[in-house]
Structure 1
Amino acid sequence: MKQSRDTHASRLAASRQLDGELADADLDLAEQKAHLHQAQEALKLGNLRGREIFEDLLKEPVPLDLVRRIRTSPQARKAVRLPSPRRQAKLTLPRVAAAFLLTFVLGGGLGYMLALKPASAVSTLIADAGDAWLDDVVAHYRTFSRMDGRLAELPASEPAAIIEWLLGNTGVNFRIPDLSDNGLAFEGARMLVAGGMPVGQLVYTSGEGEVISLLFRKNRPDEDGFSELIRDNIALVSWRSATATYVVVGPSSAASLDEIAAKAAGLI
């Protein structure tokens, strides 16, 4: 019986609309419901795209400068909120529709701007997390940097022997940079194998006892370069020439590692 009355009322409303008798308020309500449905569908699409972009960003390695700023930033002061009387907002259909539209515009705009950012700008700065030769470099540095008194295989007092030894095994022509202006003392040289290739290593120490290494090897045509990277509290700063790749390695707490790399790049 009730269904029959509802059907009759719907048919009567449709008839009144066709006859021009439907009130303006009823027409506005129908239009608002249609806009609300469109906003809900657009919001679902915008949220899905934004979530995909955000998950991709979480997979990217953290830049060295950002990690340093986070570590050295002062602790935020906690805000105290005083209790206030609760206000119950009155929800109406126009307000709900406006909220949906605002959320969609903000989320869609953010996703659009992130999508416009070239992915190559990140891939050329940050090395692939699965790059085996960097794993070997980090593992070697973590081991040898703890060997007090045995940092070098050839001492700093034999520069000619160091150059002949490393040049003959790596094929990279180089000079031993003087980094005393950066507070580093040259200790000698080592050689290791990383990623299946011989890598030369010049070892320096700071006045605080930090071990800084300058490594180099021949370029590989199939690899991407990187500039700064942190792995397990070990920082790497790299640059490339036409024939060789160079990496400065040290503790991530060393704030001047990029300055050391810039100085070494001009001297080696």
Structure 2
Amino acid sequence: MTDSNIPVTEDELHAYVDNELPGERLAAVEAWLATHPDDSARVASWRAMSDTLQAKYGAVADEPVPPRLSLDALARPPRRWMMGAIAATLVAFVAGGSVGWIAHGANTKQSMFANFTDDALDAHKLYVVEVRHPVEVAGNERAHLQQWLSKRCGYQVRAPELDANGLKLVGGRLLPGPSGPASFLMYENASGERFTIYASRATTEATQMRYAANDGNGAMFWADRGVGYVVSGPTDRTRLQHVARLVYDQTEKTGL
């Protein structure tokens, strides 16, 4: 069988879009596309999506991976801010003053909000630019994705159903969190715009939703039953809050 008669795989189509296809297969793939309109349409849509993502997020694609998002970080001990919180607790206990306890609680919540949103926005910026490898487990393996993340994170992880609101599950991956593993889920609408859900163990039972923005991206944070959540996406606070509310309503019912 000659190269031109070898069926073209989906990986080859992605490589063709990314200009990574081996030269000896280029002519065969182009000939295949000329006679397979469905694949040709898929390639055109991938290229359009790639152009959209590049235009919106291209500047961050060349930024280095933040150290706290590296795989090595999963094995590291808790962050210094946690040790600082513990030390502050001990000082407050020894002092025996109620003012110390109030200040400690406020500082701990502020630190948790900052750490969760910083990590979530870094992950969001890092992975939304990816066309071929934005996730580790694809959205069509929802059951496996949920089971895997639940086992690694130590609590029930559910990928919310957002299709009715125009958001399709792209998939998810495992990331380091502020005090342990974090689940990271990605959704995409028809125009290629992406939203992500970052969740990890939190040191508080419940907090109200809080908004943060950085480098053209927005984040909505809250904590519930010992788990912190961040929904990241466009800086449009109203839209982001709408998606966050949809996620909250489903996680509250399922116990994510």
TM-score normalised by structure 1 residue count = 0.48
**Whole-angstrom distance in 1 between the partners of 2:126 and 2:133:** 11
Please say if 1:216 is aligned against 2:196. no
**Whole-angstrom distance in 2 between the partners of 1:261 and 1:239:** 9
- Partner residue in 1 for 2:234: 251
**Whole-angstrom distance in 2 between the partners of 1:232 and 1:245:** 22
Cα deviation 1:186-234 (Å, max 9, x = unaligned): 1111111133521101110112211101111112249977511112221
1:128 Cα deviation after fit: 4.9
Give the residue type in structure 2 aligned to 1:172: Y
Q: What does residue range 86-101 of structure 1 map to in structure 2 within 5 Å?
A: none
Q: What does residue range 117-132 of structure 1 map to in structure 2 within 5 Å?
A: 127-128=110-111, 131-132=114-115
Cα deviation 1:100-136 (Å, max 9, x = unaligned): xxxxxxxxxxxxxxxxxxxx9xx79x95599344322
Cα deviation 1:156-182 (Å, max 9, x = unaligned): 111221111111111121322111222
Please say if 1:264 is aligned against 2:220. no
SS at match of 2:200: strand
Question: Quick one: which of 126, 138, 148 aligns to 1:143?
Answer: 126
Distance 1:149 1:216, change over 3 A: same
**Whole-angstrom distance in 2 between the partners of 1:170 and 1:129:** 18
The structure number with the bigger radius of gyration is 1
Question: Quick one: which of 150, 173, 180 aligns to 1:197?
Answer: 180
- Partner residue in 1 for 2:169: 186
Give the residue type in structure 1 aligned to 2:155: V
SS at match of 1:140: helix
- Partner residue in 2 for 1:48: none
**Whole-angstrom distance in 2 between the partners of 1:168 and 1:174:** 9
Distance 1:253 1:225, change over 3 A: closer
**Whole-angstrom distance in 2 between the partners of 1:130 and 1:168:** 25
Give the residue type in structure 2 aligned to 1:207: A
Distance 1:224 1:160, change over 3 A: closer
**Whole-angstrom distance in 1 between the partners of 2:112 and 2:201:** 20
Gapped runs of 5+ residues in structure 1? 1-119
Mapped contact 1:192–1:200 kept (Cα < 8 A): yes
**Whole-angstrom distance in 1 between the partners of 2:205 and 2:142:** 33
Distance 1:129 1:163, change over 3 A: closer
C-alpha RMSD over aligned residues: 3.0
SS at match of 2:221: strand
Query: Would you identify which runs of 4 or more consecutive aligned residues in structure 1 move more than 4 Å?
Result: 126-130, 221-226
Mapped contact 1:233–1:252 kept (Cα < 8 A): yes
SS at match of 1:173: coil
SS at match of 2:121: helix
SS at match of 1:230: strand
Mapped contact 2:205–2:223 kept (Cα < 8 A): no
- Partner residue in 2 for 1:156: 139
**Whole-angstrom distance in 1 between the partners of 2:229 and 2:218:** 14
Give the residue type in structure 2 aligned to 1:163: Q
- Partner residue in 1 for 2:11: none
Gapped runs of 5+ residues in structure 2? 1-102, 252-256
**Whole-angstrom distance in 1 between the partners of 2:141 and 2:245:** 25
Give the residue type in structure 2 aligned to 1:166: L
Count the aligned residue pairs: 147
